[in-house]
Amino acid sequence: MTMQTGNVHAPYNFIPLSRFIFLPNWAHQVSHDIPFSDGVSGSLQVELTCHTPTLVGGQQTPATDQQPGRVEFFKGPDGKPVIAGSTLKGAISNVLEIASFARFNRLADKRYSVRDLSAADNFYFNQFHGKSKGGKSGWLRYNAQEGCWQITPCKMARIHQRDIIKAFDDITEKSWTAENNSKAHQRYTLLKGIRDICFAKGRHKTKDTIANWEPSGSCKGKLVVTGQPGQAFNKGKSSKKWEFVFYAPDSAPKTIAQSVMHDFKFIHSESDDWKYWQKNNAASQNPGIPVFYMEEGHKITSIGLAFLYRLAYKNTTHDAVKHTQISHIDGNSPDLPALMFGHIDNESGHSLRGRVNIGAARLQGETVDEIELPATILGSPKPTYYPAYIRQPKADEYGQLSSARDYKTLMNQDVELSGWKRYQTFKEAKVSQLDEDQRGNTKVQVKLVPVNTGSRFVFNIHFHNLREVELGALLWALDFGGKEGAYHTIGMGKPFGLGRVSLKVIDTHLQTNRPEQYQGAELLQKATFSFTHLMQQAYATASTEQQTHSWQKSPQLQELYYMAMPCNNPSTPYMKLAEHADSKKNGNLATLASASGYPSSSLDLPTHKSLASDLSINPVSDEQYRNILKEQQEKQQRAEQERLQKEQEKQAAAARAEERAKQPESVQKVMDLEDKVKKYQQEPANSTLRKDLNKLMGGMAKADFIAALDAALIDRCQQAIAPLDATVLPDTKQLNKLCKALEKAMSQHA
Q: Are 71 and 450 in contact (CB under 8 A)?
A: no
Rounded Cα–Cα distance for residues 418 and 14 (Å): 6
CB 600 within 8 A of CB 559: yes
Three-state SS letters, 171-213: CCHHHHCCHHHCCHHHHHHHHCCCCEEEEEEECCCCCCCEEEE
Q: How far apart are CA 671 and CA 717, in angstroms?
A: 9
Calpha distance 494→48 (Å, rounded): 17
Other Cβ atoms within 10 Å of 739 Cβ, number: 18
Check the CA dihedral 512-517-520-523 and report its sign. negative
Cβ contacts of 618-623, under 8 Å, gap ≥ 24: 618/25, 618/26, 618/534, 619/38, 619/467, 619/468, 619/469, 619/530, 619/533, 619/534, 620/469, 620/529, 620/530, 620/533, 620/534, 622/516, 622/517, 622/518, 622/526
CA atoms of 586 and 581, how far apart (whole Å)? 9
pLDDT of residue 600: 42
3-state helix, strand, coil in the chain (%, to 5): 35, 20, 45
Q: What is the pLDDT of residue 368?
A: 86
DSSP 237-306: TTS--EEEEEES--SS-EEPPHHHHHHHHHHTTT-HHHHHHHHTTGGGSSS-EEEEEEEETTEEEEEESS
pLDDT at 59: 83
- Do residues 499 and 492 make contact, with C-beta atoms less than 8 angstroms apart? yes
> What are the CA-CA distances from residue 372 to residues 53, 254, 352, 450, 621 (Å)?
10, 60, 43, 7, 53
Containing H/E element for 369?
A: none
Dump the DSSP string for 320-338. HHHHH-GGGTS-----HHH
- DSSP, res 417: B
Q: On the CB side of 567, how many CA atoms lie within 13 Å of its CA?
A: 20
Using 50 as the pLDDT threshold, list the residues of the chain that sit under it: 1-7, 131-132, 546, 590-593, 595-610
d(CA 178, CA 311): 29
3-state DSSP assignment of residue 462 = strand
The whole-angstrom separation of Cα 329 and Cα 107 is 10
Q: How many residues does the chain have?
A: 750
Question: What pLDDT is attached to residue 632?
Answer: 84
First to last CA, the chain: 77
Helix 184-191 to helix 272-279 angle, to the nearest 10 degrees?
40
CB 499 within 8 A of CB 493: yes
Q: Are 399 and 598 in contact (CB under 8 A)?
A: yes
pLDDT at 405: 80
Dist. CA 670–CA 708, nearest whole Å = 12
Residue 309: C-alpha distances to residues 24, 194, 575 (Å) = 46, 20, 25
Residues 101-143: tens digit of each pLDDT: 999 999 999 888 888 776 667 777 777 755 445 679 999 999 9
Greatest distance between any 2 Cα atoms in the chain: 141
Cα 550 to Cα 478, 649, 739, 744: the distances in Å are 22, 35, 56, 64
Helices (H) and strands (E) in the chain, counts: 21, 25
Strand order in the sheet with 69-73: 57-61, 69-73, 446-449
Whole-number Å distance between alpha carbons of 401 and 15: 20
Rounded CA-CA distance 409/113 in Å is 11
DSSP structure class, residue 553: T
198 forms bridges with which residues in the sheet?
Answer: 220
Distance CA 412, CA 320 (A): 9
Contacts of 465 (CB under 8 A, 6+ apart): 31, 32, 35, 36, 39, 40, 41, 355, 513
What are the residue ranges spanned by the domains of the chain? 12-112+322-564+585-620, 130-312, 630-662, 665-750
Q: Which residues pair with 691 in a beta bridge?
A: none
- pLDDT of amino acid 333: 86
Residue 377 φ/ψ, nearest 5 degrees = -125, 125
Residue 294 burial class via C-beta count within 10 angstroms: exposed 0-12, middle 13-18, buried 19 and up:
buried
| Collapsed DSSP state (helix, strand, coil) of residue 387 | helix
Backbone dihedral angles phi then psi of residue 444, each to the nearest 5 degrees = -105, 5
Please list, in sequence order, all residues whose beta carbon lies within 8 angstroms of the beta carbon of residue 696, skipping any fewer than 6 positions away.
669, 672, 673, 676
Rounded Cα distance between 292 and 273, Å, is: 14
